[in-house]
Structures are given as structure tokens and as C-alpha cells.
């Protein structure tokens, strides 16, 4: 066993990991990376199939990001944002405000565009900022005696700090902390593959036939908003949503038009809209392939696909291109103005972090944003999106593949016990974990969400590397579920 692995096993406590299982075998210790490739302490090469947990955009060890980081390091690594400003934070804030403007007007938005940037450290803290801002804004505009509440979707996950946990509705991530968090309301999420109204039904191996959707999932949101409006003193401060696709819920896409319809309902109820684009931001949701965009025009955020302008926008993960922890919460001018006043009124937003607006993170993020606006990056994202679309249909031949969900550069492959009935595997069987371990042995690294295999490679990933990932996933399924699945695959493919 490598010495680094021994040190890890002896001293490190890993996130979201059952450490009893972890301690049973030698872990993979990553020591270097280049592009879409990673190398471990033994020199074995891997493809980064999930962008190092959804953070890396342009590839590892990127020349321009390295240079930007070094340039800033030669000036200063960090100075406080409490009472001081700094160069890269100011430049990045201006660039983020510009990048998040709607590509098309949002007719339902009367609150104005995003105008201000509050920096924090990661996705959870970006949501904490948004929660506090929305809560206090609602009290200041609806009266101090009000008790604002929050609404989010079934299966929602918005982070692990307590405010973010309160917004989440995945039992595994919340039930242990129920006594510590405030109550929030939940509403039906659009999950077409498991639609309770049976609007989506797989008919054959390579396609899904949809019955006429009557938007019951939108009606559920409308009913919930109307019900809360009748409750005196408990208005909703905000509706919180991951736009276009829910990540930790299982890479669940929202049907086209859902976000826009729900945003209109939220606006009509005079409620703030908080968009959690921690995972979906910075180009992850791809490009409409039928439309032509220049690098300067292409949508970088999920909300822009449906011309929805949130009141608060939370960013992290890919913000620095996968280099450093940095987050941002963008707000409208109206929300910012609610915190203005004389010193003795104490309207200040009393919130902050020691490393808020860290110069190294901001300088790297600014360079990453510039990279996204290059023609080379635009073409790379187009190629990757098309390569995934071309390669994924091969997975329909696997009997345990119930659904394949692609949104831009994000893929979720849901494994089931029986694809004809959509019967899921029990989580205790660790079907997703076992498949990902088999993939790692074949040189592709990713991490499942329950029974959903996630593929979200860096934008520099080549079509050949995409095909390799898909082939490895197929081989891993054969290893886990048995070679007899070969004949069943052929039967299903027909």
C-alpha cells in the first residue's frame, strides 16, 4: 500500500463516506492531473468522469488559469473584504453581473436585473447568504411581525450548512438534523421518468413515449402558493430551485417550459425567486443545438435558457474553473437597497467570512469567465454535448438502464432492477457504488447519486474520451450485474 494511502486511512475523515467501508481497502490517491486525465500515486491514469465533483470546467492544470493564479500570487494572496476592497473582486463582480443578464427579456420580472455580488466560500454558504437576504427583505417589505417561510422542491438539495439543509428534502441528508433546522415547505418536483400521473412511459429500448402532459406539477406549485397566501403572517420569502435540472436529486431534468411557468406563478404571488446554479452555472446546461450563438452571446446559466431572471442567484463549484473554493450570491438592486440606512438604524447585512472575496479565487474566476467567452471554449462545449448525445444511446441496450437523462453537458443514467416496470434497486444493494467502483478499476472516475451514475466531464474532454467512458460504463454494468445480461441486452435492443 502506498504511504500516502496509509496516511489517509489513518488520519482523514472523508465527506459523504461510510468510513468503515473506506478503511477496508486502499484508496485512490490523486497526485496530478492534466486536461480530462488524472493520475494516482501509483501512476495509474484515469478519466475524470464527473469534473472532480462537478467543479472543473476547462480541464486540470490549465495554462491560462495557472498563469492567472500565479500573477495574482505575485501581488497578494488575500486581504480582508471587511472595510477594504480589492482589484480582482471588483473586476469579477462586474463581469458576473454582465454575464448573468437575461439573453431574452423576462416578462414576469418586475424587480429588475441582478446588480450586486456578495462573495462567500462554497455552494452552501452562497445559499445561506440568499436565505438571510430573502428572509430579512421580506420582513422589511411586509412588516416586522411577519414570519417568512421558504418553499423548495421534493428531492431538493442545496448544501450542508443548516440553512441549506432546511431547504433540502432528501431524507438521508436531512433527517438527522431535523431538530436543528427551521421548517420549510416542499412541493412536487417534475420527475418525468417517475411521473405519478404516468405521463412518461418507456416504450422501447432507445426512446421514451410521452402521453400528453397536463402540467400537474405546475398546478401543484400554484396550489401551494395559493394556500400559503391565505395564511396570515406567514408569507413565503422565496421559492428556491435548481433551474433546468436537479442535481443531487438524481440529475432530474425539468421539462421545457416548467421553469418559466413556475417563475410566472412565483412573481404573481409577490415572492422572491432564488436560483441555485451552484451545479448548473457556467455552461453546464449546454447550448440549444438548433440555435447559433457567438461566444459572447451563448447562455452560461440555466435560467437564461428559459428567459427567467431570478432575484437571487447562487454560484460556486465551477466559478473558479475548479481551482479554489469561492462562491457568489447575486441580488437585485431592490434587495440591496432594503439594507441601506443610517448607521444607527442597523440595517447592515450582518454576515461575512474571513476569506470573503479572496484575491486568488477572484483572479482565477475572472480568467475562467474570460475562457468561457472564447470561441475555442464554445466549440469545445458544442463538441462535448454532441459527443455525449451520440454515445449515450448505446446504453439503452443494458437491461438495468431505466432512464438516460442528458441536459447539455450533464448526464444521469438511472439503474433499475427491471426497466419494463422501472422497479428501483434498494439503496442497501449499492448498485450505483458497485458500478462506479468497477468503472474506477477500468480507468474512469465518477461518483453515483444513489442508483444514478453521473457523467459530467470537463469541457476539454474529447469525443474519443467520451466513447471510452460509455464503453467503461457498459463493461462495469456487465461485471456488476452478470455476463448473462449480454443476451438480454440484445433482446431489448431489438
Give me the CATH number covering residue 32: 3.90.1150.10
Query: Residue 39: pLDDT band by 50, 70, 90 thresholds?
Result: very high
- CATH of residue 81: 3.40.640.10
Check the CA dihedral 434-29-59-319 and report its sign: positive
Average pLDDT of the chain is: 93
Query: Could you report the per-residue pLDDT of 113-149, keeping only the tens digit for each?
Result: 999 999 999 999 999 999 999 999 999 998 887 889 9
Task: Give me 27's grid cell.
Answer: 484508496
Tell me: pLDDT of 184 over 70: yes
Instruction: Please report the pLDDT score of residue 237 as a whole number.
Output: 95
Among candidates 387, 366, 410, 386, which has minimal Cα distance to 243? 410
Residue that is last in its domain, among 328, 358, 373:
373
Q: At what angle do helices 359-372 and 63-73 cross, to 10 degrees?
A: 150
Query: Could you report the per-residue pLDDT of 276-286, keeping only the tens digit for each?
Result: 999 999 999 99
Are residues 40 and 116 part of one domain? Answer: no
Query: Could you report the per-residue pLDDT of 48-103, keeping only the tens digit for each?
Result: 999 999 999 999 999 999 999 999 999 999 999 999 999 999 999 999 999 999 88
Query: In this structure, are residues 284 and 290 in contact, taking their beta carbons and an 8 Å threshold?
Result: no
Is residue 66 situated within a structural domain? no
- What's the CA gap between 224 and 357, in Å, rounded? 38
Is residue 70 situated within a structural domain? no
Are residues 425 and 348 part of one domain? Answer: no
Q: How many other C-beta atoms lie within 10 A of the C-beta of residue 203?
A: 9
Structural domains counted in the chain: 2
Is residue 90 situated within a structural domain? yes
Is residue 461 situated within a structural domain? yes
Are residues 390 and 264 part of one domain? Answer: no
Are residues 176 and 106 part of one domain? Answer: yes
Residue that is last in its domain, among 340, 373, 406:
373
Are residues 316 and 198 part of one domain? Answer: yes
Query: Could you report the per-residue pLDDT of 316-364, keeping only the tens digit for each?
Result: 999 999 999 999 999 999 999 999 999 999 999 999 999 999 999 999 9
Residue that is last in its domain, among 373, 398, 432:
373
Tell me: pLDDT of 448 over 60: yes
Is residue 206 situated within a structural domain? yes
Instruction: Please report the pLDDT score of residue 417 as a whole number.
Output: 95
Tell me: pLDDT of 455 over 90: yes
Length of the chain in terms of residues written:
494
Is residue 68 situated within a structural domain? no
- What's the CA gap between 394 and 33, in Å, rounded? 29
Q: What is the mean pLDDT of residues 173-202?
A: 86
Are residues 20 and 56 part of one domain? Answer: yes
Tell me: pLDDT of 483 over 50: yes
Tell me: pLDDT of 200 over 60: no
3-state helix, strand, coil in the chain (%, to 5): 40, 20, 40
Instruction: Please report the pLDDT score of residue 292 as a whole number.
Output: 81
The helix/strand/coil state of 12 is: coil
Are residues 338 and 397 part of one domain? Answer: no
H or E segment and range at residue 93 = helix 87-99
- What's the CA gap between 119 and 316, in Å, rounded? 10
Instruction: Please report the pLDDT score of residue 199 as a whole number.
Output: 55
Is residue 171 situated within a structural domain? yes
Instruction: Please report the pLDDT score of residue 204 as a whole number.
Output: 40
The helix/strand/coil state of 47 is: strand
Query: Residue 211: pLDDT band by 50, 70, 90 thresholds?
Result: low
**Containing domain of residue 317, as a range?**
75-373
- What's the CA gap between 281 and 291, in Å, rounded? 19
Tell me: pLDDT of 271 over 80: yes
Task: Give me 274's grid cell.
Answer: 432564488
Q: Half-sphere exposure (CA, 13 Å, Cβ side) for 192?
A: 23
Are residues 297 and 185 part of one domain? Answer: yes
Query: Could you report the per-residue pLDDT of 217-244, keeping only the tens digit for each?
Result: 999 999 999 988 777 668 899 999 999 9
Query: In this structure, are residues 65 and 56 in contact, taking their beta carbons and an 8 Å threshold?
Result: no
Least-confidence region, from 207-211, 286-290, 410-414: 207-211
Structure-model confidence comparison of residues 146 and 261, the more confident one: 261
Are residues 325 and 209 part of one domain? Answer: yes
Are residues 96 and 44 part of one domain? Answer: no
Query: In this structure, are residues 246 and 285 in contact, taking their beta carbons and an 8 Å threshold?
Result: no
366 φψ region: left (φ > 0), alpha (ψ -120 to 50), beta (else): alpha
Query: In this structure, are residues 333 and 115 in contact, taking their beta carbons and an 8 Å threshold?
Result: yes
Q: How many other C-beta atoms lie within 10 A of the C-beta of residue 429?
A: 13
Instruction: Please report the pLDDT score of residue 293 as a whole number.
Output: 83
Query: Could you report the per-residue pLDDT of 389-443, keeping only the tens digit for each?
Result: 999 999 999 999 999 999 999 999 999 999 999 999 999 999 999 999 999 999 9
Query: In this structure, are residues 115 and 331 in contact, taking their beta carbons and an 8 Å threshold?
Result: yes
Are residues 345 and 276 part of one domain? Answer: yes
Structure-model confidence comparison of residues 346 and 484, the more confident one: 346
H or E segment and range at residue 228 = helix 216-229
Is residue 337 situated within a structural domain? yes
Are residues 291 and 234 part of one domain? Answer: yes
Amino acid at each position: 500500500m502506498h504511504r500516502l494511502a496509509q496516511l489517509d486511512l489513518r488520519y482523514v475523515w472523508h465527506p459523504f463516506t461510510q468510513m468503515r467501508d473506506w478503511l477496508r481497502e486502499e484508496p485512490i490517491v490523486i497526485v496530478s492531473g492534466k486536461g480530462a486525465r488524472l493520475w494516482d500515486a501509483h501512476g495509474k491514469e484515469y478519466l475524470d468522469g464527473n469534473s472532480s465533483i462537478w467543479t472543473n470546467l476547462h480541464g486540470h492544470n490549465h495554462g491560462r488559469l495557472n498563469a492567472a493564479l500565479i500573477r495574482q500570487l505575485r501581488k497578494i494572496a488575500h486581504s480582508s473584504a471587511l472595510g477594504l476592497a480589492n482589484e480582482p473582486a471588483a473586476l469579477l463582480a462586474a463581469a458576473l453581473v454582465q454575464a448573468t443578464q437575461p439573453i431574452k427579456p423576462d416578462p414576469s420580472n418586475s424587480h429588475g436585473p441582478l446588480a450586486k455580488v456578495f462573495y462567500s466560500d462554497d455552494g452552501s454558504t452562497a445559499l445561506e447568504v440568499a436565505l438571510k437576504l430573502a428572509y430579512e427583505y421580506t420582513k422589511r417589505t411586509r412588516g416586522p411581525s411577519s414570519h417568512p417561510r421558504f418553499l423548495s422542491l421534493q428531492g431538493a438539495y442545496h448544501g450542508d450548512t443548516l440553512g441549506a439543509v432546511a431547504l433540502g428534502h432528501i431524507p438521508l441528508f436531512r433527517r438527522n438534523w431535523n431538530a436543528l433546522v427551521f421548517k420549510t415547505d416542499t412541493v412536487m418536483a417534475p420527475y418525468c421518468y417517475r411521473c405519478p400521473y404516468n405521463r412518461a412511459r418507456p416504450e422501447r429500448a432507445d426512446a421514451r413515449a410521452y402521453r400528453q402532459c397536463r402540467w400537474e406539477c405546475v398546478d401543484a406549485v400554484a396550489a401551494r402558493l395559493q394556500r400559503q397566501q391565505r395564511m396570515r403572517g406567514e408569507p413565503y420569502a422565496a421559492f428556491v430551485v435548481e433551474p433546468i435540472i436537479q442535481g443531487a436529486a438524481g440529475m432530474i431534468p425539468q421539462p421545457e417550459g416548467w421553469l418559466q411557468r413556475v417563475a410566472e406563478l412565483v412573481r404573481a404571488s409577490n415572492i422572491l425567486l432564488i436560483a441555485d446554479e451552484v451545479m448548473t452555472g457556467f455552461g453546464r446546461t449546454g447550448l440549444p443545438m438548433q440555435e447559433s450563438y457567438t461566444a459572447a452571446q451563448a447562455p452560461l446559466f440555466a435560467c437564461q435558457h428559459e428567459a427567467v431572471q431570478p432575484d437571487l442567484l447562487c454560484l460556486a463549484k465551477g466559478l473558479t474553473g475548479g481551482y479554489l473554493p469561492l462562491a457568489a450570491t447575486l441580488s437585485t438592486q431592490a434587495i440591496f437597497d432594503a439594507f441601506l440606512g443610517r448607521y444607527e438604524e442597523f440595517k447592515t447585512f450582518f454576515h461575512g467570512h474571513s476569506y470573503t472575496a479572496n484575491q486568488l479565487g477572484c483572479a482565477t474566476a475572472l480568467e475562467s469567465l474570460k475562457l468561457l467567452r472564447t470561441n475555442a471554449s464554445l466549440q469545445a462545449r458544442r463538441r462535448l454535448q454532441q459527443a455525449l448525445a451520440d454515445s449515450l444511446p448505446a446504453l439503452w441496450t443494458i437491461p438495468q438502464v431505466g432512464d438516460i437523462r442528458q441536459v447539455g453537458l450533464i448526464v444521469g443514467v438511472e439503474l433499475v432492477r427491471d426497466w419494463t416496470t422501472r422497479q428501483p434497486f434498494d439503496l442497501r444493494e449499492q448498485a450505483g457504488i458497485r458500478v462506479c467502483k468497477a468503472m474506477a478499476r477500468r480507468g474512469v472516475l465518477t461518483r453515483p447519486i444513489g442508483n444514478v451514475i453521473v457523467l459530467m466531464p470537463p469541457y476539454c474532454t474529447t469525443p474519443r474520451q467520451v466513447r471510452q467512458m460509455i464503453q467503461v460504463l457498459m463493461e462495469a454494468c456487465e461485471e456488476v450485474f452478470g455476463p448473462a445480461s449480454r443476451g438480454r441486452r440484445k433482446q431489448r435492443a431489438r
